[in-house]
Amino acid sequence: MLKQRVITGVILALLVTLGIYFLNSFWFAHVSLVIIILLGGWEWGKLAQASEAERWIGLGLGLLLAEAMWFLQPPVWLIGSLGVIVWSVLLYHLFHYRQTTTYYQDNPHFFKILGFLVLLPAWYSLAKLHDLHYGDVFYLISLIAFADIGAYFTGKKLGSIKLAPELSPGKTREGMSGALILTFIWAYIGFWFQHLGFGQGLLWMLFSLLAVAISVAGDLFESMMKRQAGVKDSGRILPGHGGILDRIDSLLAAAPILTLGLVLMGAAGA
């Protein structure tokens, strides 16, 4: 299992790196569409316990909405703000979730509708982030990676207070602190190397840390969905890694807020 996981991880990292670097904005957006809207949407529908017919209808509607967004090009700040609002609401649900909660069984369409409000803003924000500069996508991925590293080692060494015991008993507040500290250092290095002005630098640091914090919410919310669906992984498309959503849950939450921050940075520097 470990060997399979490592091989899959290396291949994924190589494909993602090549795609981010070599694809132009149009092709990056549409490859991302396939991964996030189509493959991720299919898994989301399964976790939402939608029927196969509902999943196909959802994919068709998601594809139409995504292409309409790409054609109409709504303001990035508007879509990014929508993503931030959605995740703010989801944070409320995470804080109030208990394993005995029946809200999701009593409201079976909640997760189904939510898929559009999570996947579409995340996809559009990521596509626009790449359009700003492909290096910004690498930066987003690096933030999430460093957050995982900081959380793992700090949690393993010092972790004692559970962050969300009802959802993920392995995550601790100490681990979360380690994630924020490490990504703060990484964000500061980026700020220093880019020689940003004071206003832009504040936004860079603020939105980098907010993206890290909300990325944890993305991970926890997918854990909640899997718990409600009674499954361990969102899918089996990636040998040793589970499904697409298992790999991009943090990215879905972090992309809108970091993209919004970079857009505001541009406005601050104008």
Predicted local distance difference test score (pLDDT) of residue 264: 86
Asked if pLDDT for residue 2 goes beyond 60, the answer is: no
- The values of phi and psi at residue 83, to 5°, are -60, -40
Q: Are 50 and 115 in contact (CB under 8 A)?
A: no
pLDDT at 269: 54
d(CA 174, CA 150): 10
Q: How many CB atoms lie within 10 A of CB 82?
A: 18
Let me know: does 125 contact 250? Beta carbons within 8 Å: no
What was the pLDDT predicted at 5? Answer: 67
Residues 68-110: tens digit of each pLDDT: 999 999 999 999 999 999 998 998 888 888 888 888 888 889 9
Q: How many CB atoms lie within 10 A of CB 192?
A: 10
Tokens representing 47 are 């976790």
The beta-strand segments (E) located in 82-199 are 162-164, 168-172
Q: What is the pLDDT of residue 270?
A: 46
Residues near 33 by Cβ (< 8 Å), separated by ≥ 6? Answer: 63, 66, 123, 127
pLDDT at 240: 65
- Cut 0.75: pTM above it: yes
**Nearest alpha-carbon partner for 69 in 24, 125, 137:** 125
- Domain range summary for the chain, segments of one domain joined by +: 2-268
pLDDT digits (tens, 9 = 90+) for 242-261: 789 989 999 999 999 999 99
End-to-end distance of the chain based on CA atoms, in angstroms?
51
**Range in 41-50, 116-125, 154-163, 179-188 the model is least confident about:** 154-163
Strand partners, 162: 172
As a whole number of angstroms, the distance between CA 140 and CA 270 comes to 23
Give the residue among 108, 97, 145, 119 at the shortest CA–CA distance from 43: 119
Paired with 143 in beta bridges are: none
Q: Provide the pLDDT confidence category of residue 1 given band limits of 50, 70 and 90.
A: low
Supply 68's token pair: 């309409």
